[in-house]
Structure 1
Amino acid sequence: MKYDSQYYILRENHESGAYMLDMAEDSDEGLDHLMSLWSLKNHVLGPGVVEITEGNHAKFQPCDYHETAEQLVSEKFRQVLAPFNLPGVDFYQTNIVNGDKIWSEHYYMHIWNHHKAIHHGRSKIDGTYVDDDFTLEVLSLDENVLDKIPLEKRLVFTLEEKPKFLFHETVVQALREVNLTGLSFQRVDEWSIGSAFE
């Protein structure tokens, strides 16, 4: 349980949640694989393109974080993470398009640093751990797994079993200090499936 209070899940807040953004048809096809557990550097040859599919187009201003099917972050967000030299985290330049307006200082964040780190005894699921066929209801991290991984290799990672993006408290503190828009963090020991609606 010692890591449950050290790690946070990245979430969008009401600012970015007021809009739904989706990858456009003219986006680089290599970005179709952003949930992959491997690097896409050899597959992505051009920029991503994102368009607004829901929300008031006239009032739209991009936030520093938008939760599309993947994670879309601003240059400001990316610069905060740069000094951490995060293994298994790549950024792909992506344009947000709204009519004739284009914002080019955004990036798809691909986290392919992954660890099978769900504690089976303390976490609650609906389904079975066999073939990871479950819905995660309450999360607890397995210290037996994470103790074996140096901190610098697990500052930011995704759960191999389920696509939850976890940020260590040191990274969260750095992101909070620059007053980014569109995001919030929820500590693992305070998260449940119902908290997404709070």
Structure 2
Amino acid sequence: MAKNDQYYVIHSVNNKNFPMMQASTKPKLKYLYSDKYLDDNDDIKLINNRMECQLAPEIYSYEINLAKPIPKDPRYVDFHSYDLEQSVSEKFVKAFKDFPGIQFVQGTGGEVINELKLDYYYLHYLYSIKCLDLENAKADVSFSGRIIQYKKLVLDYEVLDNIPEEQRLIFWLREDPMTCIVHQKFVDVYNEAGLEGARFVPIEKYNAKTAFM
């Protein structure tokens, strides 16, 4: 059963020497509705709250550049982000090579790859889940159903319990696409590998100011 203390929001560490990496993929990777899966008995089950992202094709481009302001003494670590793009090191890729729900897309260009000669990858989330508990989060919703804001981050664990665990270990919150959520199992792999650059905010402590702390 999914529980509150199992989930975190992932952010970059606020360190003035850790540069932000701005990146773009071509072609753009789109989320597609994928509302069916086979359970352990090979029976078809429906999921109304999960979207699945297409895998990156064999031929693609992923350009990574440094976003301004650029630190005077930049230090390149295992996890860098900028808005929705998250770039990770080869060490990160090796640590998570068998972790479900993600795909790593190797950088092909941009100043990080071509000029700095660094090897970074796009952390591509394969799932987006609609699982914000609107009532307890005290969310404001537009006429179109779009989330305008919420007072606190509260997940609907009944929704998550109806999704196989391997498909909810790392995902975007569909109501707020700037929010990336990871399971304790993801955090454990990260810590055991001795990676650097990411921080994990427990769900119950997350608020609008967290990204700037």
User: Is 1:80 aligned with 2:92?
Assistant: no
Shift in Å at residue 81 of structure 1? Answer: 1.8
Q: Distance in 2 between matches of 1:155 and 1:91?
A: 16
1:123 aligns with 2:120: no
Where has structure 1 moved over 6 Å in runs of 4 or more? none
Q: What is the CA deviation profile of residues 55-114 of structure 1, one whole-angstrom value per residue up to 9, with x for unaligned ones? A: 235x22311111113111111122222222x13x222112563694220x2111121311
Partner of 1:53: 68
C-alpha RMSD of the superposition: 2.7
Work out whether 1:8 is the aligned partner of 2:28: no
CA distance in 1, matches of 2:78, 2:17: 12
SS state of the match for residue 136, structure 2? coil
Match of 1:192 in 2: 207
Of stretches 158-167 and 131-140 in structure 1, the one that deviates more from structure 2 is 131-140
- Which SS does the other structure have where 1:61 is aligned? coil
Distance in 2 between the 1:117 and 1:28 partners?
Answer: 27
| CA–CA separation in structure 1 for the residues paired with 2:18 and 2:95 | 25
Q: Measured at CA, do residues 150 and 40 of structure 1 come closer, stay the same or move farther in structure 2, by a change above 3 Å?
A: closer
Q: Give me the whole-angstrom Cα distance separating, in 2, the residues matched to 1:129 and 1:140.
A: 21
Shift of 1:154: 1.0
How far apart are the structure 2 equivalents of 1:41 and 1:62? 25
**Alignment partners' CA distance in 2, 1:143 and 1:129:** 25
Indicate whether 1:29 and 2:26 are aligned. yes
- Is the CA contact 1:64–1:76 (under 8 Å) kept in the aligned structure 2? yes
Note the residue ranges of structure 1 that are not aligned, 5 or more in a row. none
Q: Distance in 2 between matches of 1:66 and 1:129?
A: 35
Cα–Cα, structure 1 residues 43 and 121, in superposed 2: closer, same or farther, change >3 Å?
farther
Q: Which runs of 5 or more residues in structure 2 are unaligned?
A: 32-52
Local SS of the residue matching 1:83 = coil
Distance 1:50 1:40, change over 3 A: farther
Quick one: distance in 1 between partners of 2:12 and 2:3?
22
Equivalent residue of 2:181, what SS? strand
1:110-149 correspondence to structure 2 within 5 Å: 110-128=124-142, 130-149=144-163
Higher-helix-fraction structure: 1
